[in-house]
Amino acid sequence: MSKSLSERLAAAPVVPLIGEDDAGRAVKTAEALAAGGLSVIEVVMRSPDAQKGMEAILAEATGDLIVGAGTVLTLDQAKSVRASGAQFIVSPELVDEIAEYCLAENIPFYPGTMTAGEVQRAYALGLREVKFFPASLAGGVPMLKAFSSVFREMRFMPTGGVSAANLAEFVALPSVLACGGSWLTPKEAVAIGDYSKITTLASEAVAIAAQAR
Ligand code: 3PG
């Protein structure tokens, strides 16, 4: 049986971001990540064809993936990516109506938070898992430690400025659900079709996280 989102993040707490307009390259990138051990993938909706790339991954990619949509800014967009098959939704900030929609639809939603007020608002809406964005600029590990001492039930997905260099310190925190980031899918590697580089970066991240936990 396919493992759930939470089981996969517990095993490999890293969510790579794909920002790729070309559907064929998006599929190959997703497969390269899965080959390296990362099977939970966020496709960011930052360009006109990004949703087609996500649809192609869902339809064609091998590797038993869980595929979500990131950079979802409006309720209409959330409904649209959901209709396309997105298995989770990520936003750069907390939009109440997207949160309410996702809770009603029972689809995991990770809104960006960077202040205690935002985390508390997410908590009040019923969310127990949020993105922490932009992680490095929002105070990094010390800020997450401060949040965790207050928001005991909340778990965080730090994203924005996370890389192989600081992944270990984030995933070592019990309150960190997973780290997100684009460092696993460098544009130069995708552009020249160097998918083995992406698999190597994914394997490296899996190893770093395993050692840190
Ligand atoms: C996001 O979409 O969450 C961030 O833009 C990713 O940030 P990164 O490029 O520093 O990983």
In this structure, which residue's CA is closest to atom 1 in ligand 1?
160
Q: Measured in angstroms, how far is the CA atom of residue 133 from the centroid of ligand 1? A: 8
The confidence score (pLDDT) of residue 1 equals: 45
Tell me how far apart the alpha carbons of residues 93 and 192 are, in angstroms, rounded to a whole number: 33
pTM above 0.85, yes or no: yes
Query: CA 85 → CA 6, 31, 33, 179, distances in Å?
Result: 18, 18, 19, 23
- Write out the catalytic residue numbers: 42, 131
Q: Where are the beta strands (DSSP E) in 1-138?
A: 14-18, 40-44, 66-70, 89-91, 109-113, 129-132
Q: What is the pLDDT of residue 3?
A: 80
**166 CA distance to ligand 1 middle (Å):** 14
Which mutation among 159, 170, 190, 201 tests ligand 1's pocket best, with the greatest number of atoms within 8 A of CB? 159
Report the largest interatomic distance among the alpha carbons of the chain, rounded to a whole angstrom.
Answer: 46
CB 29 within 8 A of CB 194: no
Per-residue pLDDT of the chain (213 residues; tens, 9 = 90+): 468 999 999 999 999 999 988 999 999 999 999 999 999 999 999 998 999 999 999 999 998 899 999 999 999 999 999 999 999 999 999 999 999 999 999 999 999 999 999 999 999 999 999 999 999 999 999 999 999 999 999 999 999 999 999 999 999 999 999 999 999 999 999 999 999 999 999 999 999 999 998
Q: What is the pLDDT of residue 38?
A: 97
Answer yes or no: are the C-beta atoms of 73 and 92 closer than 8 Å. Answer: yes
| Domain coordinates in residue numbering, the chain | 5-212
CATH of domain 5-212: 3.20.20.70
Strands (E), the chain: 14-18, 40-44, 66-70, 89-91, 109-113, 129-132, 155-158, 179-181
Test site for ligand 1: of 17, 33, 167, most ligand atoms within 8 A of the Cβ: 17
Ligand 1 centroid to 77 CA: how many Å?
19
Does residue 161 have its Cβ closer than 6 Å to ligand 1?
Answer: yes
Q: How far is the CA of 78 from the centre of ligand 1 (A)?
A: 19
pLDDT digits (tens, 9 = 90+) for 115-144: 999 999 999 999 999 999 999 999 999 999
